[in-house]
Amino acid sequence: MKKLEVDKILEKNGWKKNKIVGILQDIQDVYYYLPEDVLIYISEKLNIPLSQIYSISTFYKAFSLKPKGKYRIKICLGTACHVRGGYIISEFLKNKLKILPGETTKDELFSFETVNCLGACAIGPIVVINEKYYGQMDVEKTEKLINKLK
């Protein structure tokens, strides 16, 4: 953990207890997950019980307590993507990467999660890899994309 980096985030949020959700968001933007030592540090600095921070980190779906892979894949399972077969892509990825949503491959190359809706419904099904959106996806296109990254 880089204390300076975390301090900067706390500073940006005015060291305020009620900004804890925003603080965790900022932490996750840096590490892509919430490292345990960082949470302990924040708990001490802001005088918030660790249990409360744990409760918030597990309540909100945006947070992950597990490290993510180099390529973070999101499959949209919003209604529009669902009726166009988004769930088939998710099934396929489970098979292909041999992990469940929320997990990371052993080589730490890929992590994959399903999300409720990314709001790009008109061009569904949507796959997002790191921050790039891919529209009108199917299993074939997803496989090509993954193979290219390997």
> Residue numbers of the site for other proteins (CB under 8 A)?
16-22, 24-25, 55-56, 59-63, 77-80, 82-85, 88, 91-92, 95-96, 115-124, 126, 131, 133-135, 138-140, 143
Contact by Cβ (8 Å): 48, 37: no
| Shortest Cβ 107–other proteins spacing (Å) | 20
Would you say 46 or 109 has its CB closer to other proteins? 46
**Cis peptide bond prior to 125, omega within 30° of 0:** yes
For residues 110-135, b (16+ Cβ closer than 10 Å) or e, as one string?
Answer: bbbbbbeebebeeebbbbbbeeeeee
| Shortest Cβ 5–other proteins spacing (Å) | 19
| Shortest Cβ 100–other proteins spacing (Å) | 14
